[in-house]
Amino acid sequence: MSGQVAAIDLGATSGRVMLADIGPGRLELEQVARFANDPVQLWNGHRTALHWDVPGLYREACAGLAEAGRRSDRLITIGVDSWAVDYGLLRDGALLSLPYHYRDSRCEDGVPAVHRSIDPAELYARNGLQFLPFTTIYQLAAEKVSGRIDLADRALLIPDLIGYWLTGRRVTERTNASTTGLLHTTGYWDDDLAARVGLRAGLFPALAEPGTELGPLLGGVAAPLGLSTRTTVTTVASHDTASAVVAVPMDSDTAAYISCGTWGLVGVEVSGPVISAAGRQANFTNEVGADDRIRYLHNVMGLWLLSETVRQYQREGYRADLSELLAQAGEVRPMFDVFDTADPRFLAPGDMPGRIRDWYDERGLQVPMTRPEIVRAIVESLAAAFADGVQRAAELSGTPVRTVHIVGGGSQNRLLCQLTADRTGLPVLAGPVEATALGNVLISARAHHLVDGDLEALRHLVATRFPPQQYTPRTRRTSISRTVGAGKGSTMKEVRP
């Protein structure tokens, strides 16, 4: 039996609603709506702060669901995924204000507040997360400093907030909960940690597993959209990376993945948390995946560097076309040192090309000046960061990596895929592009018995329906090794601050 399910997939720069026709051996995916996710800057009485327009995203998502309903004979269920760490604060069931954007500067107040209460090494031992200054625990500590947290009686992560508005039911889906810093590596909310950093236990609702039926659409939601209240909402692996990893067409346990969008998430899948001093030093994280897998990975700045560069060129009046810039970058001789993509200066919106040039100039290095040179430097630096992440994931987890999968938007970037193959010395399998939406619909479809099987069975379906494109290393001179873990060389010198 086949049926139709919908995915609301909210990324950090855009959102989409996808409709899937899915059943045994069948997986068809159609985009029915796409919309921008542009943050808003609002004066808060002290400074201009960066927020997400989540009500606007909900409005666009509902319009997409209405279109999905018009195209579907019977829409069975809806799954929601989004970026991680951000949340809305509620009181008496109502949203208090627009959720803050993780790139907002207020996190600068939260980090020292948490670290005064708990040593970073102990924090890592408890939650297994890499240090990112915008992790939810730091954001909530900033809310405590400002006093806003005292106004709230509940917090909902972004996908859970959308699910609440659709069904009236409040839960915290586990894969996204694991990005908050408040989930213990044993899998439960760490109420003691919350108390130590001044947060109230129970701020987030109870945990729900991927594949849990939240409930039917509220009548007041379904009717205006032309949908039936028989249509349900099902929790999926609601952290978008967790959904993307569901759809990585891995056929062995010797593969690494790179989920490449605004961020590049580089890692391996393991059966349990990997907690070590070396892992903390390398800033590797343990996040929960579907079916109780652990995504052992490291964040790389990702396509944000390219998209923000294109936006700057557009602000300067240049009709920037990324595909044209990438083609021109492919002709540039790689004569520049790679830059540190993790430098905090690259996190905020603004003049990305100028900040990249400053990075080189401050170190007395040759500065990429033209647009194609800047783009080439970005892609080379991302490939180098990806290769480093693959190597470290292999070494720290003890996983012998022989293949690298790139999924998401970055899988369309032929230059990036080829340079990643060259720098790892490993074959790169690129695709599917819509891995997050595919992982979303696969989990909800399995919950409704449209498909069955473990993750390997779901991934086999993806590989059959969306076969990846292979990139072969052009030289072993820059490889990590045929099986990752034996050190790496580089034709472009890596410079670290």
Strand 428-430 to 469-471 pairing: antiparallel
Options 81, 240, 337, 340, the catalytic residue: 240
The phi-psi region of residue 198 (left if phi > 0; otherwise alpha if psi is between -120 and 50; otherwise beta) is: left
User: What is the number of alpha carbons within 13 Å of residue 19 lying toward its C-beta?
Assistant: 19
**Is 291 assigned a catalytic role?**
no
Q: Which two three-digit tokens encode residue 272? A: 């349990």
Contact 254, 399 (CB under 8 A): yes
The phi-psi region of residue 485 (left if phi > 0; otherwise alpha if psi is between -120 and 50; otherwise beta) is: left
CB within 8 Å of 219: residues ≥ 6 apart: 229
Straight-line distance from the first to the last Cα atom of the chain, in angstroms, rounded to the nearest whole number? 57
Question: How open is the CA angle 193-342-127, to the nearest 5 degrees?
Answer: 15
Contact 15, 60 (CB under 8 A): yes
The closest of 87, 84, 209 to 154, measured between CA atoms, is 87
Distance CA 119, CA 143 (A): 20
CB within 8 Å of 186: residues ≥ 6 apart: none
Distance CA 50, CA 56 (A): 15
Distances, alpha carbon 76 to alpha carbons 34, 65, 252, 293, 449, in Å: 21, 12, 32, 27, 11
Q: Which two three-digit tokens encode residue 378? A: 């970005």
The alpha-carbon radius of gyration of the chain (Å, integer) is 22
Helix ranges (DSSP H) in 31-119: 54-71, 107-117
Helix ranges (DSSP H) in 226-351: 240-246, 277-281, 304-315, 322-330
Run of H or E residues at 455: helix 455-465
For CA atoms 139, 142, 144, 146, the dihedral sign is: negative
Could you give the residue numbers annotated as active site? Answer: 240
